Structure 1
């Protein structure tokens, strides 16, 4: 069932607004950071609401396959099913229609296919909460809940065996924790993106250096221009169906002193 926007203390972030979860220390990839987040989320809601829950997270990023992770295999399978079928509480909150969606299996006739799948997975209740990331746009003015394409969006999902496991107190705890989770996830996304960009830049610089040095060798051997030297590399690349960088590196490896090595921030 959809719930209105919170007011008063429920609207706020956790008691310490500066607090963030450490989703980066020891996590080499964004996937590992997501695993840390779902574990922390499940632990928090279970401890504060007094119920045993499973937790999952769905993250949509532009030009990437949606990332799905969960505390159990059953949670991940259910989230995968919902992604494929586009029916259920996570789909509802990520469409921008409501910030929270709750399914109490007994007596709830929404998403009937999803309800059956929920039961097959061994759960009686589901709670989804949208994480409002910096690039997560609100619903459009037409009120149809659509989002502009290419935006990052995320949602946390909690699952319990009890068919009425998420009373208002549990929902409030999940929403309060979502503010902390959002801040922490945004920082993790930004940091991992920066790491990836740095790696790509370093690779591009290494590649450009190898090609430039190889062109210099060809220019010295053939008394030709840079353009002509690069054309020789490009023709060899096309003929052998390998990248220009690979051709350049093979040429440099054959030098008596060996291939020079670049050091960009290493």
Structure 2
């Protein structure tokens, strides 16, 4: 089976074309991974990605996997261990496992006896994990673990591109928000200057004073000033 996984590379790349957001991309990859491994003994997959100064992104192939993921990536869970040191972890049998905080107990309740968690090969500060779950104990023997690792490698290629795209979109949205914020503040300063026959610095200080007194962001104060003059003024930048 490991030799056949490269045939799925095109399917992973296709995910980039069909998913517009990173979360959707991860969800499709989780489903695809579960389908590739789903020989009746692998019942689901989860993907988790962590980046500096960004919220954790999680995706699961199904609801049961989502419940498993919360435990696996909770405090002291096996998934968290993989995120921390980038080494694969295998839970051979949840019924006899004593590590990983409360994870084995939940796995046993869910009827999932074994799990493989392997690191994704990402870039920069990003770290990620692919988890696969099975109702059979000792299911992820070395050969199958290697298959999961190869699958994670194929997924990683797509995810590296997806993360680059997401980073560019994130920067573009932040820039657009900054431009819109700067524009509305500049408009409000001009309005205050005209109404009060004051200097630019004095107008800025008026905005800051109102912002501090009311505990409102200066952009929101500025937007109120602009809206009071004309609802037709727009600070939105078309893409």
Query: SS in structure 2 opposite 1:129?
Result: strand
- Is 1:31 aligned to 2:23, yes or no? yes
Instruction: Find the counterpart in structure 2 of residue 105 from structure 1.
Output: 93
Matches within 5 A, 1:186-225: 186-225=160-199
- Is 1:54 aligned to 2:44, yes or no? yes
Separation (CA, whole Å) in 1 of partners of 2:167 and 2:113: 37
Superposed CA deviations along residues 151-207 of structure 1, whole A, max 9, x for unmatched, are 321110000111132344422322211111111112222212221221221111111
Note closer, same or farther for the CA distance 1:236–1:217 as it changes in structure 2 (3 Å cut).
Answer: same
Matches within 5 A, 1:106-145: 111=99, 114-135=103-124
Superposed CA deviations along residues 207-243 of structure 1, whole A, max 9, x for unmatched, are 1111111211222233322111111122222233322
Note closer, same or farther for the CA distance 1:125–1:16 as it changes in structure 2 (3 Å cut).
Answer: closer
Query: SS in structure 1 opposite 2:85?
Result: coil
- Is 1:239 aligned to 2:229, yes or no? no
Separation (CA, whole Å) in 1 of partners of 2:67 and 2:10: 34
Instruction: Find the counterpart in structure 2 of residue 264 from structure 1.
Output: 237
Note closer, same or farther for the CA distance 1:65–1:247 as it changes in structure 2 (3 Å cut).
Answer: closer
Superposed CA deviations along residues 118-139 of structure 1, whole A, max 9, x for unmatched, are 212211221111101112xxxx
The Cα of 1:62 is off from its aligned counterpart by 1.9
Separation (CA, whole Å) in 2 of partners of 1:248 and 1:96: 47
Query: SS in structure 1 opposite 2:128?
Result: strand
Instruction: Find the counterpart in structure 1 of residue 65 from structure 2.
Output: 75
The Cα of 1:43 is off from its aligned counterpart by 1.0
Separation (CA, whole Å) in 1 of partners of 2:151 and 2:19: 21
Separation (CA, whole Å) in 2 of partners of 1:205 and 1:195: 15
Separation (CA, whole Å) in 1 of partners of 2:118 and 2:236: 45
Q: Unmatched 5+ residue regions in structure 2?
A: none
Query: SS in structure 2 opposite 1:221?
Result: helix
Separation (CA, whole Å) in 1 of partners of 2:173 and 2:18: 18
Instruction: Find the counterpart in structure 2 of residue 43 from structure 1.
Output: 35
TM-score normalised according to structure 1 size: 0.75
Separation (CA, whole Å) in 2 of partners of 1:260 and 1:245: 15
TM-score normalised according to structure 2 size: 0.83
The Cα of 1:28 is off from its aligned counterpart by 4.6
Answer yes or no: is the 8 Å Cα contact 1:19–1:180 preserved in 2. Answer: no
More helix per residue = 2
Note closer, same or farther for the CA distance 1:97–1:58 as it changes in structure 2 (3 Å cut).
Answer: closer
